[in-house]
Chains A and B, each alone.
Chain A
């Protein structure tokens, strides 16, 4: 029973990070109909920037802010320079471009920062709280992770629901031509969408790195989990991405604990296949966009 509680807690916490990552994918998918396979590499790049600052003696919080800001810039630049030419074109071309970015950025990180395993500090303690006599798998750091993810989501909801900017972004995702006719600078909104998504992606990268090891390819598994979570939620629905992320986190945590850690990636594949075959629209499909 105690193991079950711990496994569930671990699953929920990693699930919240997957949810944030899936949310970043969904943000980009909604605005540009592109799945950004480079998301993981971009997030890894910002984590390494943060790590470089921390190793230079700066505080975690400064490093966090700088990493998120650099994520914003990287996202905007990539959308402007590389993605714009293939936007609205053949979907295979966009997929190939993001895959190219994925490899290129990952290799660039290895060239600049080296490809060894580095430990990434956590801002809060990693010792589990004690309830009565037993230590549970809930640590101060995992509470920080949960709070950070919830705050980010609340911020995004506020942005899209209550601000003019959010309205303009929703409008450009909803109907580019109509939005343009109504005076929305659609190009800018798309760039902003990518930049915001890159910030959310970077945050999830930093959260998963905290207290663990980072290396250039450490986000490879996360891109798969994030994608599975996003598809589980239907790729179109932010709420779906969050629920999908938590579901994947729980499921993988159970597989890792009760079957074998080596099977986690395979379990993600199985879940993805089952979802795509049984409910291709995802659990929260809001449109019939996909011919699947």
Chain B
């Protein structure tokens, strides 16, 4: 079985270095506001994103106030999925690196938050969350340095090992991290200003769940605002250059490795924040919360929405939150017992990953945008012809 070196390797490698172009081309097409000129939104990116941010904030408040407490807690869940998936989509969609280790990076953020809130005199919540981000960033930088030299299956395997290996630390240092049982999280109480705000807006009871949903939403909005600007900046363009044409990017003086590490660091920071929010919302940081299935669920969220698309991430995260109760009920109706029905959700995640990758690799948002752009181009061509 000792064979001479395979020759087709080289050609496969060449295909793969341009690989993500197909999958993410749609996500990188100029949006209507940037390219069309028929939009009411301002042309300045920062101003436009600020306007969208304000609109989304108003929309989020309305959504949180008209829904019941249970939906509030589901939306809180959505925020941490979306924050982590937002970071992952920037890494995978824009820079072409895959990571199965984001669950582990979320664990770093969650444990940091749990430990810092457990202190006798806990620091203010923003400081705690920033610390979670900082620590996840450091870990992400370490992983990123290794990851920058890898691609495709190698990177997937290395980050897979991270996802499987890192929770072992929580068990090994059981005294500090609470072993398999994990740490209970003492979520801080809502400030008075929040209660008067809710009273002013809707008069709903300002419950702890609602407060945490708002914390998650604020984190989500800030993260997405920063990511959206980053994507449209010089940094985002450089990442795409690194992803699409390694050689050309290198010739243009771009240090491939450094930019890959930066992408990983940004993405890890998001995962850290997401972990912090998760710890607050779930009120528990335990190894069982950060299994491989979590990392793969995040991957499902970014793939179904469309790699590289932040709107797609929201769609995908909504799927992660609202699909499991739905299919679990469906399974119970079909006569499965509760543990079997609980497995239907991961089954659907897996199926979705396979089906989307085969039939619509650009994801929902990407496919719709591609259709729309083709239709517009056709219309334009017809207009020019007649």
Residues in chain A within 8 A of chain B (CB atoms) = 29-30, 33-35, 37, 82, 85-86, 88-97, 99-108, 110-111, 114-115, 156-157, 160-161, 170, 173-176, 216, 220-221, 223-224, 227-228, 231, 236-239, 260, 262-269, 272-273, 276-277, 280, 286-292
Contacts and interface: CB of A to CB of B under 8 A. Distances in A.
Interface stretch (B61-69, B211-219, B259-267, B338-346): B338-346
A220 B13 contact: no
Contacts of A280: 149-150
Interface string B89-109: 000100010101000000000
Query: Which 10 A-B residue pairs are closest in the complex by CB-CB distance?
Result: A104-B350, A100-B353, A90-B19, A103-B350, A107-B347, A287-B5, A35-B153, A289-B9, A269-B165, A91-B152
B115 to A, nearest CB: 19
Contact of B361 (A93, A105, A106, A263): A93
Contacts of B5: 236, 286-289
B157 A105 contact: no
A30 B9 CA distance: 9
Interface residues of B, number: 71
B350 A101 contact: yes
Interface centre among A92, A103, A292 (most CB of B within 10 A): A92
Contacts of A264: 168
Interface stretch (B39-47, B292-300, B372-380): B292-300
B84 interface: no
Given A91-B16, A227-B160, A238-B1, A110 B357 contact: no
B193 interface: no
A33 to B, nearest CB: 5
Nearest to B354: A100
Interface in B313-370: 331, 336, 339-340, 343-347, 349-354, 357-358, 361
Contact of B172 (A115, A228, A262): A262
14 contacts: A82-B354, A92-B20, A92-B23, A96-B299, A103-B350, A108-B347, A157-B1, A227-B160, A231-B154, A265-B164, A269-B158, A269-B166, A276-B150, A286-B4
B190 to A, nearest CB: 37
> B-side binding surface: helix, strand, loop or mixed?
helix
Nearest to B142: A273
A33 B146 contact: no
B98 A289 contact: no
A33 B9 contact: yes
Nearest to A84: B358
**Residue with the greatest number of chain A CB neighbours at <10 A, chosen from B154, B156, B353:** B154
A35 B157 contact: yes
Nearest to A23: B1
Contact of B10 (A91, A111, A224, A289): A289
Interface of B: 1-10, 12-13, 15-23, 92, 96, 98, 100, 146, 149-154, 156-158, 160-162, 164-169, 171-172, 246, 292-293, 296, 299-300, 303, 331, 336, 339-340, 343-347, 349-354, 357-358, 361
**Which of B2, B4, B10, B96 lies at the interface centre, i.e. has the most chain A CB atoms within 10 A of its CB?**
B2
Contacts of B149: 276-277, 280, 292
Contacts of B22: 89-90
Nearest to B180: A262
A263 B167 CA distance: 9
A99 B296 contact: yes
By CB atoms of chain A within 10 A, which of B1, B7, B96 has the most? Answer: B1
A173 B6 contact: yes
Given A30-B3, A292-B154, 18 more contacts: A37-B157, A90-B18, A97-B353, A99-B296, A104-B353, A104-B354, A108-B343, A111-B343, A224-B160, A227-B157, A227-B161, A228-B161, A266-B166, A266-B168, A269-B161, A291-B246, A292-B149, A292-B151
